């Protein structure tokens, strides 16, 4: 297998998915990586709080505009990484073909066994989440970015190994 094709999904494609996508673009520039939101308003730029969060972890998302998740985003994707149980439920309901490879970021860190099992067998109600900083102040956004950066620092080496399978 070549580099894994990743899709990050959050609610508005405004913060969490943008942060994770930006980390992969910085750390694995050759990997195909995208992001979208389950309830995004298409075309919105990043907020000043998101920009501050990105700066705090030394990444950027130049020219980012929010995108609403659709079936085209799921074509040729190896792994859909969401941030909340609701995102996974949404994907399973709207795009059932993606259920075997869609889960939350913290869920991917829970198992040591790679390659991952069919993720569609997971109980969505038990999936761990990354809280949305929306409505919070800049410090909440920075804390969220730091959490995602720490999680991605654990996940990327696993995905490196997965990519060579």
Q: pTM (2 decimals)?
A: 0.95
pLDDT in tens, 48-75: 999 999 999 999 999 999 999 999 999 9
Is 80 domain-assigned?
yes
In a domain, 1, yes or no: no
Angle between helices 48-56 and 16-27 (to 10 degrees): 40
Residue 46 in any domain: the answer is yes
Encode pLDDT of 85-110 as tens digits: 999 999 999 999 999 999 999 999 98
**Residue 31 confidence (pLDDT) above 70:** yes
Name, in order, each residue with C-beta under 8 angstroms of 158's C-beta and a sequence gap of 6 or more: 108, 114
Concatenating the DSSP letter of every residue in 11-73 gives SSSSSHHHHHHHHHHHH-TTS-EEEEETT--TTPPPPHHHHHHHHHTT---TT----B--GGG
**80, 70, 72, 66: which is closest to 7 by C-alpha?**
80
The arithmetic mean of pLDDT across residues 135-151, rounded, is: 98
Q: Is residue 138 a contact partner of residue 160, using CB atoms and an 8 Å limit?
A: no
- Domain CATH code at residue 137: 3.40.50.2300
> What is the count of structural domains for the chain?
1
Q: What is the pLDDT of residues 114-127, one digit of tens each?
A: 667 788 999 999 99
Q: Are 24 and 33 in contact (CB under 8 A)?
A: yes
Q: Domain range holding 51?
A: 6-163
How far apart (Å, rounded) are the C-alpha atoms in residues 50 and 138? 8
Query: Taking the chain, what is the end-to-end CA distance rounded to the nearest angstrom?
Result: 6
The reply to whether 90 falls in a domain is: yes
């Amino acid at each position: 297998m070549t580099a894994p094709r990743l899709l990050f999904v959050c609610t508005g494609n405004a913060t969490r998915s943008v942060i994770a996508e930006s980390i992969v673009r910085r750390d694995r520039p050759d990997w195909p990586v995208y992001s979208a939101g389950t309830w995004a308003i298409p075309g919105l730029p990043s907020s000043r709080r998101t920009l501050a969060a990105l700066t705090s972890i030394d990444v950027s998302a130049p020219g980012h505009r929010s995108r609403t998740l659709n079936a085209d985003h799921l074509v040729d994707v190896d792994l859909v990484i969401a941030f909340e149980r609701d995102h996974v439920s949404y994907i399973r309901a709207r795009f059932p073909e993606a259920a075997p490879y869609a889960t939350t970021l913290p869920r991917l860190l829970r198992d040591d066994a790679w390659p991952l099992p069919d993720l569609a067998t997971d109980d969505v109600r038990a999936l761990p989440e990354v809280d949305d900083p929306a409505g919070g102040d800049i410090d909440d956004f920075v804390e969220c970015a730091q959490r995602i950066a720490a999680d991605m620092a654990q996940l990327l080496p696993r995905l490196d190994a997965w990519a060579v399978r």
